Amino acid sequence: MTVSLAVTRYVVARFIWDEQKLGGDGKMLKHLLWATDFSETSQAALEWGLALAQLAKSQLTLLHIAEAEEARDEQLAAEHRRKLEEIAEQIRQKGLTVTTSVRPGQAAQVIVQAAKELGADLVVLGAHGHTSFKEKLLGSTTEQVLQNSPVPVLFVREKREPKFNHLLVPSDLSDAALIALDYAANLASLTKAKISLLHVVAPYEGSPEAWEELKRETTEELRRWSSRTVEPSEVPSIEPKVTRYHHAGAGITEFAQQNAVDLIIIPTHGHSALGRLIFGSVAAHVIYYAPCPVISGKAEAFKKAMEG
C-alpha cells in the first residue's frame, strides 16, 4: 500500500522539537539513511527518523530501491522518484538537509551498500510483519540488513508516536551488550531518557527467598558491569532490572510492554559463537514482537556510529 503525500506532510510538520529540550550534541547521529518502499511501515519509520533528525540536527538521505518490476516500468520508476523528491522537499522546508537516492537492485544489498558509501550513522527501516517468524529469520530484508549493516538499524514495525523517555537495554553481561549500553547512554544524553538495564534469567524453581537473593546479586552485578562504560552522572537515570522468563526475547518484549518502554537497544552478538547465535535470534525476536521500535546491529556497528 502506498502512502499519500498528505500523510507525509502531516508527519513532517508534526515533529518539530523544542530546541530548549535537547541534550547532547548528536554527533553519533550526523547522517540518517531512511529506506522506503512507500509502505505504511516505512512511513511509520520515517516519523521516528524525523524525530531523531530534528533532535540531533542530522542530515537525511531518503533511499528508494527500484527492484525488478520497477526497473522494467519507467512510468512507475518516474512516479516513485517524484514521490521521493516531494517527501524530501517537505522535510527541507523544516530546516533539515535532505538528499534523495533511487538505486536498482536487491533491497537489503542496496541498503547496506548505500549506508557504507554515504557514511550513514543510522539506517531507518520499516520492519514488515506478514510472514512467519522462521521465514523472517532466514531470509527477509530485515534480517539481511540487520546482519550486514555497518551501522545500527532502527526498525519500526507499526505506527507509534515517537518518544524517547524510556530506553531499554537488554544485557547478557557481554562486551557487545556493554557497547550497546554505551550507545544508549549517548542517546539518553541527547533525549534526557531514563534507561532500564534488563537481564533475563531462566525460570527459577527455588524458594522465594532464594529468588530474591539471586535478583539482588544479579542486580549488583549489572551495576558493576555497567560502570565499566557509564558513569551514573552521564544519564538522568539508569536502573538495573532482573526478570524470569522461559525465552529471553519474550521476557524482553513483555518487560517493554509492561513498563512503557519507548525504544529498545539490543546488539546481535553475545559472549561466544553459541552466544552470538542465541543473542542474535533474541534480537530478531525482539524486532518482530516488541511493542516499540528497536535499534539493533552488531557490536562493531554500534561502535562505528559512536566513533563518528
Mean per-residue pLDDT for 142-166? 93
8-state DSSP, 192: T
Which secondary structure element, helix H or strand E, spans residue 286, and what is its range?
Answer: helix 273-289
Q: Is the pLDDT of residue 14 over 70?
A: no
pLDDT of 134 > 70? The answer is no
Cα 90 from Cα 13, distance rounded (Å)? 8
Res 276 pLDDT > 60: no
Domain with CATH 3.40.50.620 in the chain: 5-156, 166-307
CATH topology of domain 166-307: Rossmann fold (3.40.50)
Please state, as a whole number, how many other Cβ atoms lie within 10 Å of the Cβ of residue 224. Answer: 11
**CA nearest neighbour of 177 among 169, 185, 168, 188:** 169
Using DSSP's 3-state secondary structure scheme, residue 66 falls into strand
Per-residue confidence band for 94, with pLDDT thresholds at 50, 70 and 90: confident
Tens digits of residue pLDDT in 179-196: 999 999 999 988 889 999
Q: Is the pLDDT of residue 92 over 80?
A: yes
Superfamily covering domain 5-156: HUPs (3.40.50.620)
Instruction: Indicate the angle between helix axes 5-14 and 40-56, nearest 10 degrees.
Output: 30
pLDDT digits (tens, 9 = 90+) for 31-90: 999 999 888 999 999 999 999 999 999 999 999 998 777 767 788 888 889 999 999 999
Name the 3-class secondary structure at 123. Answer: strand
Q: What's this model's pTM, rounded to 2 decimal places? A: 0.86
